[in-house]
């Protein structure tokens, strides 16, 4: 049975698996009538993300066409993308762009 992953926006550099995948599995992405395939480098559970290109350390992760975080280490095409290799950069900012209190990390 074909295993699928979903792309939300053209700009995205990750797709989301909608089947439980194991290392070596090929996932198919249907997006705007085009079909693309990626090979999983690691196990990727349902709902988790797979890189569609190499993402060097410090570069941004894009989903929904927006930046959702940045790479903590070099991420290879086909890698499982989650909290082990992505940094959550979000802070709630005041009008001057400074973090509001209580967000030390």
Partner 1 sequence: MEFRGYYRPDGKIGARNYVAIVPAVGCINNLCSHLERLIRGTVAIRHDQGCLHPPADTAQVTRTLINLGKNPNVGGALVVGLGCEMVKAEEVYEGIKATGKPVDMVVVHQIGGMIDTLAKGARALVNIVAEVSGVHREKAGLDKLVFGTKCGSSDTTSGLSSNLVTGEVCRLMTQNGGKFIQGEICDIMGGEYALKNLSVDKEQGEKIVDYVRDLYMRGYFVGADTRGCQMTAGNVAGGLTTLVEKALGANAKGDDVPIQGTLDYAEIPPDKPGRYIMNFPGHGFENLTGSAAGGAIVHLFTTGRGAPNGNPIMPTVKLCGNSKTMKTMSEHIDVDVSSIIDETETLEHAGERLYEFAVDVANGRLTKCEILNFEGMEILIKGPVM
Q: In the complex, which residues of this chain contact partner 1 (CB under 8 A)?
A: 4, 6, 8, 16-18, 30, 45-49, 61, 63-64, 66-69, 81-83, 86, 88-94, 100-103
Instruction: Annotate 54-78 with DSSP letters as a single string.
Output: -B-TTPEEEETTEEEEEESS-B-TT
- CB 24 to partner 1: min, Å: 20
Instruction: Annotate 75-91 with DSSP letters as a single string.
Output: B-TT-EESTTTEE----
Residues 15 and 29: their CA atoms lie apart, in Å, by 8
Which one, 39 or 46, has the nearer CB to partner 1?
A: 46
Which one, 18 or 39, has the nearer CB to partner 1?
A: 18
- CB 83 to partner 1: min, Å: 6
């Amino acid at each position: 049975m074909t295993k699928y992953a979903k792309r939300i926006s053209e700009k995205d550099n990750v797709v989301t698996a909608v089947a439980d995948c194991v290392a070596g599995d090929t996932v198919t992405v249907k997006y705007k009538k085009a079909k693309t395939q990626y090979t999983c480098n690691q196990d990727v559970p349902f709902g988790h993300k797979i890189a569609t290109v190499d993402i060097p350390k410090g570069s941004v992760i894009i989903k929904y066409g927006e930046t959702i975080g940045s790479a903590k280490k070099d991420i290879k095409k086909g890698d499982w993308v989650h909290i082990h290799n992505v940094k959550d950069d979000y802070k709630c900012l005041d009008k001057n762009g400074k973090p509001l209190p209580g967000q030390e990390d």
